[in-house]
Amino acid sequence: MDRMIDDIALNAMSWAREAGALLLKYFRGDDLDIHTKLNDSDIVTAADKASEALLISHIRECYPSHAILSEESGATDGDSGWRWVIDPLDGTTNFGSGLPVYAVSIGVEYKGETVIGVVFAPYLNEFFHAVKGQGAFLNGKPLKPSTIDSLSRAVVATGFPVDKNVTSDNNLDNLERVMPMVRGIRRLGSAATEICYVAAGFLDAHWELNLHRWDVSAALLIADEAGARHRFFRDDRNISVVTASPQIFPLIDPLLSESARK
């Protein structure tokens, strides 16, 4: 099994680099063909679709019995216990606006547990990966979270749900509680990248609500393998998760838990 996981990981890493190179060809170009999905805040581009097609083609060719869950194409069944969870372009709004924080995210699950995580930010040339039990890495170097132990010195990140135009449950309550307590709040626009930045110690925490499995599957394994902590703090808003360094987690988590008791 370990050999199989390592072989799959090598393929996932290779395909993530290939998809990242494809995204770079579209980035800041004139052929993005941007369309809206749920609303004007929820968009898809030709680059999303091309990256997804490339990844799915590789998976189906090499692992025809594996299931796939992908942001644009949804779910396909498999009978092997393996599932690929892919976001072909995490941070589409950034990408469509010419902002460089975006990534390819590939998580591989076995019997419901994520065992491989790859997040590649091609413009930034930041390649994160982890295999369960083997640690987490950025461009081949081991990751570890920050050691800051007070909220007043912490820099944290968050995001806002795509349905913010039709609900008041839009993360502003959490923002109001956290903002006075921390050194700074950032909104980078790619949940996968932000969670990996917690793993690397660039951020001290990240939280967001109403995410999906493809947003977090790979990144949460990378954070866990680096030594960060995470918790799903809501069970009524899809995936709502906080990830933080071990020192900051017990300080920020209670602030977010309040919103689950509405």
Residue 210 contacts residue 227 (beta carbons within 8 Å): no
Residue 143 DSSP class: P
Q: Are 96 and 45 in contact (CB under 8 A)?
A: yes
Residue 108 has pLDDT above 80, yes or no: yes
Q: In the prediction, which pLDDT does 258 show?
A: 54
- The residue assigned the tokens 């994520």 is 114
The DSSP output letter for 187 is: -
Please report which confidence band the pLDDT of residue 60 belongs to, taking 50, 70 and 90 as the band edges: very high
38 is in an annotated binding site: no
Q: Which domains does the chain carry? A: 2-142 (3.30.540.10), 151-261 (3.40.190.80)
Give the pLDDT band of residue 166 (cuts 50, 70, 90).
Answer: confident
Stretch (H or E) spanning 202: none
Angle, helices 2-26/46-62, rounded to nearest 10 degrees: 150
With a cut of 60, say whether residue 259 has pLDDT above it. Answer: no
**Do the annotations mark residue 90 as ligand-binding?**
yes
Contact predicate 187/179, CB 8 Å: no
- Report the interhelical angle of 191-200 vs 213-226 (nearest 10°): 0
Which tokens go with 202?
């660039």
In this predicted model, what pLDDT tens digit does every residue of 217-231 receive, in sequence order? 999 999 999 999 999
Rounded to two decimals, what is the model's pTM?
0.95
CA angle 138, 98, 197 (to 5 degrees): 25
Q: Is 43 strand, coil or helix?
A: strand
Helix (H) or strand (E) holding 54: helix 46-62
Long-range (24+ apart) CB contacts under 8 A made by 48-51 are 48/72, 48/88, 48/89, 48/92, 49/88, 50/22, 50/26, 51/19, 51/22, 51/23, 51/88, 51/89, 51/104
Model confidence over 134-144: pLDDT tens digits?
999 999 999 99
Q: Give the pLDDT score at 217.
A: 97
Q: Determine if residue 61 is labeled as part of a ligand binding site.
A: no
Which one, of 15, 42, 43, 47, lies nearest residue 28 by Cα? 47
Is 42 labelled as part of a ligand binding site? no
